[in-house]
Structure 1
Amino acid sequence: MTATQVIQSEWTKIRSVASTRWTLSLAAVVTVGLGTLVSALSKDEVGDVAARQQRDFDPTQLSFAGMTLGQLAMIVFGVLAVSHEYSTGMIRTSLAAVPRRGAFLAGKVAVATGLALAVGLATGFAAFFLGQAALGPLRTDLGAPGVLRAVVGGGLYMALIAMFAMGVAAMLRSPMLSLGILTPFFFLVSTVLADVSATRAVGRFLPDQAGSRIMQVVPPLDDVPYGPWGGLGIMALWVTAALAGGYALLRRRDA
């Protein structure tokens, strides 16, 4: 198969799986809905706090309050995009049709990443505009310094989360095992390591902790040694390592 044929084949496969459509839709709805709700509830609270705390208020980041749950749906999408064929047994047929395993994995990742990026960017802009509308007089606008970067960065973050999940799924091959590792990693281990003072120096370099910096406009009062793009770069390194591991194992073992 040519590269174009591989991509067309992967597009057909991913489009035919209902669960992938539902997870992408859920990622968008949860991120936008929860971000808007939190923004609306925060409008009155922020007006009552001290002026110093108001200076630390980041209306853009508040619009992405739903990202924590939205990224879970994106993780599920990334895992299913790669491991669905293993659970159904179709992987043998796919590898027989595309014996070049690098091309097979690249085509699958390219199609899924394109979908994740499109949904992520649309979600980022929708979450921002609806969240700012809910904030009323506390809102910011897309032309303010750092805001457009944060909104676009939110879409990039969601795509990178999906890619990281794809790499892990390519290594583990099992949807349940992949989700069983990724879910506690992002929602328990990463949070604990980032919040506990003894492990904070390690936790800040985990993919979600580093990558989420791209969505911040008001610099936090901490000693993190990288900026928004540096954090996204660290996340990209994690994604590269995960995909490289998936490719290495895919080459060495049978389907």
Structure 2
Amino acid sequence: MAAIQVVRSEWTKIRSVASTVWTLSLAVVVTLALGMLISALSRNEFDTMSAKDQVSFDPTFISFAGMSLGQLAMIVFGVLVVSNEYSTGMIRTSLAAVPQRGTFLFSKIAVATGLSLAVGLVTSFLAFFLGQAMLGSHRASIGDTGVLRAVLGGGLYMALIAMFSMGVAAMLRSPMLSLGILMPFFFLISNILGNVSATKKIGRFLPDQAGSRILRVVTPLDDTPYGPWGGLGIMALWVLAALAGGYVLLKRRDA
């Protein structure tokens, strides 16, 4: 089957499965709602902040507060896109129709990545503008130094989260096992490792900790050895490793 036909087939699969559509919708809603709430609370509390906190206040990063939960919906989307066919047994039919396993996997990932990037960019821009509206006089402008980079980076960050989840799901094949590992990792383990002094230097190189650096305009006063794009590059390396692992295992084992 020609690659373009495989891509069309994967697009039909993704948009015909209600769960994938709902998870993308949830990523948008949760990110926007929480971002607006945190932005409104930050506006009300700004005058009571210490002088140090006021100086380091990052209105752009505040508007992205909802991405901490929105990324979980992106994880679910990435896992379901790849592992749904394993859980239903359709993977055998799909591989019989497309025996070139690399074409099959990367067509699926390409379609899902394009969709998650589009949703991520729309979400990121909406989160920024709605968040700044909530911040009132403390808001930033899209033309301020570093702001457009952070907003575009937000869309890239969400797409990379989905891609990393696709790679892990391709390796593990099971949606329950994939979610059982990814959810605690991103929601708990990564935050703990990134905030405990003994493990901080390790935690900062985890995919979400490194990638989220792109969302910041005001740089924290720490000794992190990379900048916004460097952090996103580290995250991209994690994604490449996960996708490579999924490809190798798909090639080597039975459906």
With the length of structure 1 as denominator, give the TM-score of the two structures: 0.99
Equivalent residue for 1:118? 118
Letter in 1 for 2:164: F
Question: 1:243, 1:135 → 2: CA distance?
Answer: 39
Equivalent residue for 1:109? 109
Equivalent residue for 2:100? 100
Equivalent residue for 1:42? 42
Structure 1 residues 169-180: aligned runs within 5 Å: 169-180=169-180
Equivalent residue for 1:250? 250
Aligned: 1:232 with 2:232? yes
How far the C-alpha of 1:131 sits from its partner, in A, is 0.2
Superimposed CA distance per residue, residues 38-90 of structure 1 (whole angstroms, 9 cap, x where no aligned partner) = 10111021122233321100000000000110000000000000000000100
**Is the partner of 2:125 in helix, strand or coil?**
helix
Superimposed CA distance per residue, residues 76-108 of structure 1 (whole angstroms, 9 cap, x where no aligned partner) = 000000000000100000000100000000100
Structure 1 residues 187-226: aligned runs within 5 Å: 187-226=187-226
How far the C-alpha of 1:196 sits from its partner, in A, is 0.9
Aligned: 1:138 with 2:138? yes
Number of aligned residue pairs: 255
How far the C-alpha of 1:199 sits from its partner, in A, is 0.8
- Range with greater deviation from structure 2 (187-196 or 176-185): 187-196
**Is the partner of 1:130 in helix, strand or coil?**
helix
How far the C-alpha of 1:22 sits from its partner, in A, is 0.1
CA RMSD between the two structures:
0.6
Letter in 1 for 2:222: D
**Is the partner of 1:205 in helix, strand or coil?**
coil
Gapped regions of structure 1 (runs ≥ 5): none
Letter in 2 for 1:101: R
Letter in 1 for 2:9: S
**Is the partner of 2:223 in helix, strand or coil?**
coil
Equivalent residue for 2:181? 181
How far the C-alpha of 1:195 sits from its partner, in A, is 0.9
Equivalent residue for 1:66? 66
Structure 1: 4+ residue segments shifted above 3 A: none
Question: 2:122, 2:230 → 1: CA distance?
Answer: 23
With the length of structure 2 as denominator, give the TM-score of the two structures: 0.99
